[in-house]
Amino acid sequence: MFETNSEYDRGVNTFSPQGRILQVEYAMKAVKQGSTVLGIQTKQGVVLGVEKRLESPLVEPDSVKKIHQIDYHLCAATCGVVSDARTLIDKARMEAQNHTFTYTELIPVATVAQSIGDTILGFGKGEDMPSRPFGVAILIAGCDHHGPKLYNADPAGSYTEWKAKAIGSGYESAQTQLEEEYNENLTLEQAKKIVLKILKQVMEEQISSTNVEVCYVTDDENAKDRYKVMEADELNALIDSLN
């Protein structure tokens, strides 16, 4: 049966004869055009790294945010439509606050990943939700009573746990390199270097502390700051060590 665009492209809740929801597939294509995002889980914690695309030298780099703190012990990195990402991050923060208020404990990372997946499936419901699928994918990193965790949520509403994951425009090359570089005995410091090394290879522009953002969440409950975004001096030192 011939499938035309006019028949199935516009229906966000309509399956094509091939069993596909085309609008969700188009949302995934939007993610593949976004900035490259990497995540690596280690026994000591989780590292996230993001390429920041600056459309002009006049853009203030600090105003381009791809990494967001959700709670004391977890964060997320986004790829795709920025406004969609902002909606999902706000709802994840609310879910984390409600969980802590209700159960007097930090929310598990898996619960946040499930909440984001459920929200993605709720497009078209309510005034604060888009009428089309979310054009964003998210890497969720955190440390709970199960240890360090890394999850990926995509525009189809599915969420999966990973040891190392890449999303965005350079994900194919980056994922291949992650599979080559990853081992379960990596330290947090080694993971930071691997993230920057891969970003350096897949980015079109020369890597610098201006166009990348790296953060980590440590499993050390006694740490002053379990979640931390690396400062420019730290990034420059690591980037220089790659040369």
DSSP helix/strand/coil, 2: coil
**Three-point CA angle 173, 32, 205, nearest 5°:** 60
Q: What is the token pair recorded at 65?
A: 């945010």
Q: How far is CA 122 from CA 84, 86, 157, in A?
A: 12, 15, 9
Which of these ranges, 63-67, 81-85, 120-124, 206-210, has the smallest mean pLDDT? 120-124
The residue among 114 and 5 whose pLDDT is bigger is 114
What whole-number distance in Å separates Cα of residue 156 and Cα of residue 167? 14
Give the bridge partners for 47, in sequence order.
Answer: 40, 216
Cβ-proximal residues to 230 (8 Å cutoff; 6+ apart), any chain? 192, 214, 215, 216, 238
**For the residues of 33-87, what is the DSSP string, one character each?**
TS--EEEEE-SSEEEEEEE---SSTTS-GGG---EEEEETTEEEEEEE-HHHHHH
Q: How far is CA 146 from CA 45, 58, 86, 174, in A?
A: 12, 44, 27, 27
For the chain, what is the mean pLDDT?
A: 90
Give the bridge partners for 77, in sequence order.
Answer: 67, 139
25-68 tens-digit pLDDT:
888 898 999 899 999 999 999 999 999 988 788 888 888 889 99
Locate all alpha helices (DSSP H) within the chain, ordered by sequence: 5-8, 22-32, 82-103, 109-121, 171-181, 188-202, 232-242
Q: What average pLDDT does range 7-31 have in this prediction?
A: 78
**What does pTM read for this prediction?**
0.91
